[in-house]
Amino acid sequence: MSSNQQQEGGSSSLSSSMTTRQENLRRKFCKDYSLPISILASPHFEYLIELYDDYLGCNGQWKEMNEIIQRDFRSSEGLFSMLANDVVNNLLGTIEKSEAYIKYNTSAVPEELWINRYLEFHPNVEGLDQKSLGQYFPVLNNCQEVYSGEHDGFYFVSVDMASANFNILRFIDPKIVLGCKTYKELIRLALKEKLETGNYESNHKLDSKKLLEELETNQSLVYKYLIDAKYLRQVLFGKLNPKLGNEKFDQNPRRKGTRK
């Protein structure tokens, strides 16, 4: 093989590697932000980012992600993903081991936790229990059942609750979310702890001190990315969703479509 052929082969391999890295980064970005983009090749990806920007603000987020990885992670998407995953997994492990979460996850009837917590704020309400609640709320297996004669006379209200999963757990017991008042505060706490204890500087040559300084001065793009990434939030609270509790919910006859 001639030297020219070897050079062409090396250039082709390098180009292929760069393309793969770019597509991996784009795939992660679309996944983390739940973007409806499945075409990752240029120029189609750039066109779709611009197309959805007015509705989703994804163009600025994409630029910030590239800036984070190039500036703080030596252009390595893998290092950035490792830190993000470490933060989520460490936080998940801390919460799962907490006494408050274990109590919530092993409650014989999880609905009782809601009722007891509600009565702490409204102690004058009398006769509030699972059975008494049933008469006020129809049981729905899917959204289409809303539009049926059976529910004539009911009023349906759609509520979009900010950081719903976080606030639900915080309502049940603030200790579950480590005493944090907001989801942002929880992620800030988790990121700070991981940067301080993760040995990223010695093991991966990341400037942990710089990242911590930016976090303390509210200039951290890493922190901003973590709180904005919908997928990471879904992973965290999806795993915290107590399966055992859901199974016990399903044993409640009122949840199987029968009304008393």
DSSP designation for 111: H
Can you give the pLDDT at residue 118? 77
For the chain, give percent helix, strand, coil, nearest 5: 70, 0, 30
Mean pLDDT of the region 214-219: 94
**Rounded Cα distance, 109 and 244, in Å:** 10
Residue 174 in tokens: 């603030």
Structure tokens at 27: 């795939």
78/20 Cα distance (integer angstroms) = 12
Question: Would you say 41 and 241 are in contact if contact means Cβ atoms under 8 Å apart?
Answer: no
What pLDDT does 108 receive? 62
Amino acid making up residue 3: S
Tokens describing residue 256: 């199987």
What is the average per-residue pLDDT within 197-217?
A: 93
Contacts of 107 (CB under 8 A, 6+ apart): 113, 245, 248
Interior/surface letters 220-230, b for 16+ CB within 10 angstroms, e for the rest: bbbbbbbbbbe
Domains of the chain, by residue range, sit at 1-72, 76-256
- Average pLDDT on 34-53 reads 94
Angle at 164 between CA 162 and CA 165, to 5 degrees: 145
Overall pTM > 0.85? no
Model pLDDT, residue 68: 92
Q: What's the Cα-to-Cα distance from 222 to each of 174, 237, 248, rounded to whole Å?
A: 26, 20, 39
Tell me how far apart the alpha carbons of residues 119 and 133 are, in angstroms, rounded to a whole number. Answer: 14
- Return the closest-CA partner of residue 25 out of 5, 41, 48: 41
pLDDT digits (tens, 9 = 90+) for 88-137: 999 999 999 999 999 888 876 666 777 777 778 777 777 766 666 666 56
Name 258's Cβ contacts closer than 8 Å, sequence gap at least 6.
Answer: 139
Distance between CA atoms of residues 136 and 232, nearest Å: 35
Averaged pLDDT, 142-166: 77
Enclosing H/E stretch for 65: helix 58-72
d(CA 107, CA 89): 24
pLDDT category at 52 given cuts 50, 70, 90 is: very high
pLDDT over 70 at 4, yes or no: no
